[in-house]
Each structure stands twice: as C-alpha cells, then as structure tokens.
Amino acid sequence: MDFVNLTSVSELVLLGFSSDIHTQIILFFIFLCFYIITCVGNSLIIMVSVTNTRLHTPMYFFLTNLSLLDIIYSTTNVPKALKDLLSLRKTISFAGCAAQMYISLALGITECFLFAVMAYDRYIAVCYPLHYVTLMTNTLCFRVSVSTWACGFLFSFIQITVTITMPICGHKVINHFFCEGPGYLTLSCTDTFINNVVTFILCMIILMVPVCFIVISYIRIIRSIMKMKSSKSRRKAFSTCASHMMAVTLYFGTCSAMYMKPQSYYLPERDKIIAVFYIIVTPMLNPLIYTLRNREVNLALRKFVFKIKLNHN
C-alpha cells in the first residue's frame, strides 16, 4: 500500500460511535447534558473561589486551576463530537486533527501533574499545619501551577511530533470520535516501534511518577490522621482527602487503561468507551465530587447562589 504524503492530506474522517441515527441522537443529548454540567459546575467553582475571600488558599487555587483545565479540556473535544453526531459527513482537517491531539494531550498531562501537586498540598496541610502558610506561599503556588501547564504542553509536543510524522496509508478513516494518538496510529502502515517506545517512556513519567507521588503523599497523610486525638479532626481530614482520591482514581485509572498498553492491543470500540470517561465524564464529575464532599465549597456555593437570587429580586 502506498504512503500518503502528509502535505497532501487535506482531511480525515472520524467514524464516531455509531452509524445508527437514533443512537446518535440519544448520544448527542447525553453528551450535551454532560458538557453543560461540566461548564456550569466548573465555572461556579471558579467564580466562588475567586469571589469568596475565605477560599483564597492554595487548596482552592489549585482547585480553580483544575476547573479551568476541565472546561478547556472538554471544549477541545466535546463540541466537535456533538457536531459530528448530527452530521452525515464526519470530517476534520489534518491541521485540526493535529491541533486537537496536541491540545487534548497537553491538557491531559497537565491534569496528571496537577493532581500530584494537589496531593502534595494536602500532605503539607495535614502533616505540617503550623507551617502550611509559610511553605505554601502564593509565589510558590503560582510557579508550580505555571510549571504543570508548561510541562503538559512540552511533553505533548514531543509525543505529537513523533506521532504526526509517521507516514500514513491510503485510507484516512479514524475509528474514533476525536483525534487521539492511538486512533491516529492505525492509519500508519510502517513500524510504530519508535512511537511505542516514546509513548511508553512518556507514560512512565506522566502517569506513574505522579501516581507514586500521590500514593506516598497519602500514605503519610493517613499516618498523620491516625495519630490525631480528635475524631472530628480525623473525619475532616479524611473528608478533604477522600474527594481528591476519588477524582484521582477515576482519571488515572481510565488514562492508564488507554495509554499503558501496546498499540497492538488497540480495540476501537472499547477504547472509545474508555475515552468517554476521561474526556467527558471525569471533567463533569470533578466539581460534583469536590462540592459534595467539601463543606467549605458547598457553603460558599450556597452563599453565591443566594446572592445571585437576591440581586435578581
């Protein structure tokens, strides 16, 4: 089969989820609801964290970063997927596909590092409460936040550069609902060994390093919590950390299932379902997890909504 020159590829075709029109309409409304909840929920957390002075702490600064990240992450992929669910011709330009892969992966990597930073923040808050203010300064939080975003876009650039330079075959059909590395590589008819090696090394850094960091942080946190004499303090500490662990488990679990496997194990239908979780479901659940499990955010949201109602009245 002849290779296709990358410069000659004007557009690619995304197969999406199903060719059945009724299934597509049902999925459209489900994903639309998820996307609206994602944008509204995360926007509320950002507005509450910014307007409520009691929440001007490192924990909520990083939570604001996470909410902003989730909004951009979903917006990069979901609107295009929604459009394709109602379209007969599901195409995307090569440049658009490359941009979607780059931005999606960059934001996904940033979220991995951000979860690790949030675990460290909880570790300092629980294990060194008296030194928390002096250790987690505004300057440090800002620098760490910028570093997570910078690392995300840097690692993504390395991965995508290797991926899009692979020569592709005559067909231009990707069996996925958005442009992602594993799906795009199915177009290649050359040996993807180098890409697999680069992907494996990056996954070890991007997924395993943050996971190890998070696990070590929470082992120390649990030890400190168990030493607390007050049962009320223990419950508060566990409640704060439990929300973070729920979000971490869901996100890293699905990302590992997608990327920590050889390209030969790529199964389009299964991997599309996995991708739905970290692209659509997790960004929607993050604000729900943090608001339902966190009393301070919950109270701040109620006050914020109450003020809005008063202003309208």
Tell me how far apart the alpha carbons of residues 145 and 139 are, in angstroms, rounded to a whole number. Answer: 10
Instruction: Give the residues across from 92 on adjacent strands.
Output: 12
- Find out whether 152 and 106 touch, Cβ atoms under 8 Å: yes
pLDDT per residue over 119-135, tens digit each? 999 889 888 888 888 98
Q: What are the boundaries of each domain within the chain?
A: 10-312
pLDDT of residue 94: 87
pLDDT per residue over 71-117, tens digit each? 999 999 999 999 999 888 888 888 889 999 999 999 999 999 999 99
Q: Is 284 exposed, middle or buried (0-12, 13-18, 19+ CB in 10 A)?
A: buried
Query: Both tokens of residue 267?
Result: 């199964």
Per-residue pLDDT band at 1 (split at 50, 70, 90): very low
Best mean pLDDT range from 131-145, 216-230, 257-271: 131-145
Per-residue pLDDT band at 59 (split at 50, 70, 90): confident
- Find out whether 263 and 196 touch, Cβ atoms under 8 Å: yes
Tell me how far apart the alpha carbons of residues 7 and 97 are, in angstroms, rounded to a whole number. Answer: 13
C-alpha closest to that of 245 among 228, 223, 222? 222
Percent of the chain with pLDDT strictly greater than 90:
29
- Find out whether 179 and 15 touch, Cβ atoms under 8 Å: no
CATH architecture of 10-312: Up-down Bundle (1.20)
- Find out whether 280 and 78 touch, Cβ atoms under 8 Å: yes
Is the pLDDT reported for residue 191 higher than 50?
A: yes
Best mean pLDDT range from 41-55, 93-107, 159-173, 295-309: 93-107
Lowest mean pLDDT among 86-90, 187-191, 194-198, 291-295: 291-295
pLDDT of residue 2: 45
pLDDT per residue over 137-152, tens digit each? 999 999 999 999 999 9
C-alpha closest to that of 255 among 181, 189, 310, 195? 181
